[in-house]
Amino acid sequence: MKLSGGDRARQNVSAPKGRKTRPTAAKVREAMFAVLGRRVHGARVLDLFAGSGALGFEAISRGAASVVFVDKDGAAAFAIRRNALRLIEDEDRWRILPMQATRALRTLRGTFDVILIDPPYDRGAAEELALLMQRGLLAADGIAVVEHRSKEALALPTSMKLIKTSKYRDTSLTFAGVRTERELQTGERSADDGRPRSPRS
């Protein structure tokens, strides 16, 4: 795999051996970061179900301040470390948590500006989304991106609002943010989600 943009564009990212990892296709990665745009600059990024770490490295290449990679698979953690040592000069800008995503979410402190979630398609990310919101890990103006099958709608916690959904054949990307207190109180939805708003009080 090669990074698609930023100051590390065209650099190779090695994937872990075996079939446990499903790398995000290059076109989908490019589309994801086209939507994220300048949100990535200076961002604190969390890469859940990181695999090779390609999404996190893409973020670093495009100006992210730091990235935390999470993957429970030993081969994935090894591949991420090997890639990071080659692609990120400052070791203070990255960290690897070799553990289950839910355990990592219970361990982490502070907030993240961008959270990238690419779970196995057969399990989804409902538990992780609920937990990261309960733990307050997504910044108030932050954005979470979930990769999932296009034929399966992604259910968001009530504390999250849909920002955008993009479809690329069998793969979809759902972008979501934190509902404001006013949105929670009035039941308002994002203007981008295509669904009707609740009447104003």
Q: What is the pLDDT of residue 200?
A: 34
d(CA 156, CA 140): 16
Q: What is the pLDDT of residue 27?
A: 85
Q: What is the pLDDT of residue 169?
A: 83
Domain boundaries, the chain: 26-186
Q: What is the pLDDT of residue 23?
A: 64
Q: What is the pLDDT of residue 197?
A: 36
Q: At CA 72, angle to CA 67 and CA 75, rounded to 5?
A: 90
d(CA 183, CA 62): 32
**pLDDT tens, N- to C-terminus, the chain (201 residues):** 788 788 887 788 888 775 555 567 778 889 999 999 999 999 999 999 999 999 999 999 999 999 999 999 999 999 999 999 999 989 999 999 999 999 999 999 999 999 999 998 777 899 999 999 999 999 999 999 999 988 888 889 999 999 999 998 889 999 999 998 887 777 655 444 434 333 332
The correct answer on CATH 3.40.50.150 for the domain covering 26-186 is yes
Tokens matching residue 45: 């990024």
| 3-state SS class at 117 | strand
Q: What is the pLDDT of residue 192?
A: 43
d(CA 199, CA 188): 8
Q: What is the pLDDT of residue 66?
A: 98
Determine contact, residues 21/85, Cβ cutoff 8 Å: no
Tokens matching residue 44: 């604190």
